[in-house]
Amino acid sequence: MTDDTAGRVALVTGGSGGIGRAVAERLAADGLAVAVHHAGNAARAEETRSAITRSGGRAVTVGGDVADERAMAAAFDAVEEAFGGIDVVVNTAGIMLLSPIATLDLADLDRMHRTNVRGAFVVSQLAANRLRPGGAIVNFSTSVTRTRFPAYGAYVASKAAVEGMTLVLARELRGKDITVNAVAPGPTATPLFTEGKSQEEIDRIAAMNPAERLGTPEDIAEAVAFLAGPARWINGQVLFANGGMA
């Protein structure tokens, strides 16, 4: 903990597993009190909360559909009641459904955009109105906006929208001392990435960056901690955390 992090509070959406859990634990290690958000898997969120408290940190769990403005307003209320305010919001919540554009089930398109686009918008809107001065909003995009892998078209479209709203919001918050950035991970060793892929495909993608490995959730959490804490002069940017893949 440093003077810069003492007393600060973070809300991590999608904090019950994968990258979200790594982010929650990394911010807690920096001394922030953390609210671990889940969209339904309360047990996994509780595992993350327990891991943080066992390490001497402060954490609570909150639930709600990120695309439901009332549910998320209640989640923000709960965090403020527990810790007195919110300084950092990290929006890792998202889903990825892969298909060629020509054959994508439009129901999957709607489902993905509801979580990835509307959800990011709802959370960003609440954060813009409720974060304390000196705060930071960190949204999540994807490095596939550059690598342009086939079958990722709808997912990339949702994340390109997140990038766009992030960059605009940074400028709209002029004078409020709140930074707004996005992290764009490359392929990361989480179930979101590995599910449905053969080991051969995973190995091929891992070999595409100079380090010849997949990223880890902890790699991505380091980038988030940077933007959430000391990186006050970085604002309105997309940070590509992909090991040099693109």
How do residues 11-69 score in pLDDT, each as one tens digit? 999 998 899 999 999 999 999 999 999 998 999 999 999 999 999 999 999 999 999 99
Least confident of 4-8, 57-61, 115-119, 203-207: 4-8
Least confident of 92-106, 201-215, 218-232: 201-215
**What was the pLDDT predicted at 58?**
98
Q: How many domains does the chain have?
A: 1
* Within a domain: 246: no
Q: Is residue 86 part of a domain?
A: yes
Q: What is the pLDDT of residues 109-143, one digit of tens each?
A: 999 999 999 999 999 999 999 999 999 999 999 99
Q: Sheet holding 88-91: strands in order across?
A: 59-63, 33-38, 9-13, 88-91, 135-140, 178-185, 238-241
What is the predicted pLDDT for the residue at 189? 85
Residue among 121, 140, 155, 193 flagged as catalytic: 155
145 pLDDT more than 80: yes
Inform me whether the pLDDT recorded for 208 exceeds 90: no
SS3 59: strand
Q: Average the pLDDT over 166-193 and give the result.
A: 94
For CA atoms 7, 13, 16, 19, give the dihedral sign.
negative
Q: Is the confidence at residue 3, as pLDDT, over 50?
A: no
Does residue 169 fall inside a structural domain? yes
CA-based nearest residue to 91, from 169, 176, 152: 169
Q: Is 152 tagged catalytic?
A: no
Q: Which helix (DSSP H) or strand (DSSP E) does residue 179 occupy? A: strand 178-185
Task: Say if 2 falls within a structural domain.
Answer: no
The reply to whether 62 falls in a domain is yes
pTM: 0.94
Q: What is the mean pLDDT of the chain?
A: 94
CATH number, domain containing residue 176: 3.40.50.720
Answer yes or no: is 59 within a domain.
yes
Q: What is the mean pLDDT of residues 153-174?
A: 97
Query: Nearest CA to 12 among 125, 118, 138, 183?
Result: 138
Residue 98 has pLDDT above 70, yes or no: yes
- Whether the pLDDT of residue 176 is over 60: the answer is yes
The pLDDT value given to residue 196: 76
Q: First vs last Cα of the chain: how many Å apart?
A: 34
* Cα 59–chain centre separation: 17
Lowest mean pLDDT among 26-30, 156-160, 214-218, 232-236: 214-218
Q: Is residue 3 part of a domain?
A: no
Within-domain flag for 57? yes
51: part of which helix (H) or strand (E)? Answer: helix 42-54
Instruction: Say whether pLDDT at 233 is over 50.
Output: yes
Query: Which residues form the domain of 119?
Result: 9-241
Q: Which residue has the higher pLDDT, 15 or 205?
A: 15
